[in-house]
């Protein structure tokens, strides 16, 4: 019996599967085709696991999730992809595996440095649900989900820039990165979205060793670049002004439109090509 070739689709969310209104509706034809063909669709995002679980309930997915930029991997408890004896942590109906440093460790180091050297910052662990909502612009229900973290901690830096460099150097000695985002500084381990893709691919290879898995990754931003380059097939989702990343892959595909519409067309074209 020959090796069975199978696709594993891993996608970014914002400005990729989701449009500016956080809607995925324009991708319905491709989502239905993936479901009909039994092709797993893996969400790979900076969002928290709680936020992703909320979304997969809408999408009707039963596949693993990659949360917090690759820092947390979760799989439905009944999927058999994670062993409940070796991975006892749970989040609702999902088994959870931290892929690198835990948030508890990151907080102990960061808060220890704050107490010891007087660095001025505050973060999600310091704030109430309402304060997170006020600082992020999220609705209160979404802010509550955004607070449930396992591998990262967003902070607001309230000190000067020279002190931030000192803080970053102290964190780096413990293997912690400080990644500047639009408003927040994100404290995290070294795991990224590419590590998340590789961790989930390993789960599928172990569960179905008879299959030859080919990974497809879709993303739009610099945060997705390593994931696209780690995949067998990379699909770049452009913005209105064109693509913002250029993966170093000769086989990279460029979607014909931004966000959800481009995602839908690119996935359907790929599935047609692969039959």
Which residues are tagged catalytic? 12
Q: Alpha-carbon dihedral of residues 154, 189, 94, 78, nearest 10 degrees?
A: 160
The angle subtended at Cα 9 by Cα 186 and Cα 191, nearest 5°, is 25
Measured CA to CA, the distance from residue 108 to residue 164 in angstroms comes to 18
The encoded tokens of residue 54 equal 């909320």
Beta-carbon contacts of 35 under 8 Å, excluding residues fewer than 6 positions away, are: 60
Q: DSSP letters along 177-188, please?
A: EEEE-SSPEEEE
Measured CA to CA, the distance from residue 9 to residue 188 in angstroms comes to 25
């Amino acid at each position: 019996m020959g090796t069975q070739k199978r696709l594993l689709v891993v996608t970014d969310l914002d400005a990729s599967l989701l449009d500016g209104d956080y809607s995925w509706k324009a991708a319905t034809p491709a989502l239905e085709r993936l479901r009909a063909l039994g092709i797993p669709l893996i969400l790979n995002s900076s969002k928290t696991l709680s936020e992703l679980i909320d979304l997969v309930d809408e999408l009707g997915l039963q596949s693993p999730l990659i949360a917090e930029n690759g820092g947390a991997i979760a799989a439905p408890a009944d999927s058999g992809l994670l062993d409940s004896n070796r991975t006892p942590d749970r989040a609702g109906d999902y088994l959870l595996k931290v892929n690198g440093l835990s948030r508890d460790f990151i907080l102990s180091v960061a808060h220890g440095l704050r107490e010891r050297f007087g660095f001025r910052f505050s973060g999600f662990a310091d704030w109430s649900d309402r304060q997170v909502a006020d600082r992020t612009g999220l609705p209160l229900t979404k802010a509550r989900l955004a607070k449930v973290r396992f591998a990262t901690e967003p902070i607001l830096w309230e000190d000067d820039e020279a002190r931030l460099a000192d803080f970053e150097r102290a964190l780096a000695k413990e293997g912690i990165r400080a990644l500047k985002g639009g408003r927040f500084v994100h404290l995290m381990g070294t795991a990224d979205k590419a590590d998340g893709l590789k961790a989930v691919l390993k789960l599928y290879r172990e569960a179905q060793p008879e299959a030859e898995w080919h990974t497809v990754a879709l993303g739009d931003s610099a945060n997705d670049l390593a994931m696209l380059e780690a995949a067998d097939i990379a699909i770049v989702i452009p913005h209105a002004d064109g693509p913002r990343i250029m993966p170093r892959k000769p086989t990279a595909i460029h979607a014909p439109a931004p966000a959800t519409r481009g995602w839908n067309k690119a996935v359907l074209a790929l599935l047609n090509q692969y039959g």
